Amino acid sequence: MPKASEKTITKILHAYTGKKYKNITDILNDKSAKDILYLEILVNDKIPWEKYLHYSIIRKNYRKARNWYSRFKTLLEIHGVKRRPLKSSTGLIDMKEYRKFIEVLNYVR
């Protein structure tokens, strides 16, 4: 179990899973983290996600984050999410996940 003093590289994953992530491998090895990884990518540009696109799970979630970013860029900015822009995407988003998206915006505020 991680010590309280250990830092995490994530902004939201630790809040949802209760775990601290010291590196990308920790994220890749945690099923619960993989389910909401796109939201972490969406709000956290401190991790160079592009460097890890050779991992299929990161590539899939990065694409999903781009879809959400393209659709809700202004809402992210209004909620104070400061990040480098993600490349525009016209992919679909699942509106059933909207509530989780709003929870994340309120958390990072």
Look up residue 53 and give its two tokens: 């696109």
Q: What is the mean pLDDT of residues 5-17?
A: 85
- HSE-CB for 14 with a 13 A CA cutoff: 16
What values do phi and psi take at 3, rounded to 5?
-75, 150
- How confident is the model over 48-59, as pLDDT tens digits? 999 999 999 999
- How confident is the model over 20-71, as pLDDT tens digits? 999 999 999 999 999 999 999 999 999 999 999 999 999 999 999 999 999 9
CB 18 within 8 A of CB 42: no
Name the strand (E) or helix (H) holding 52: none
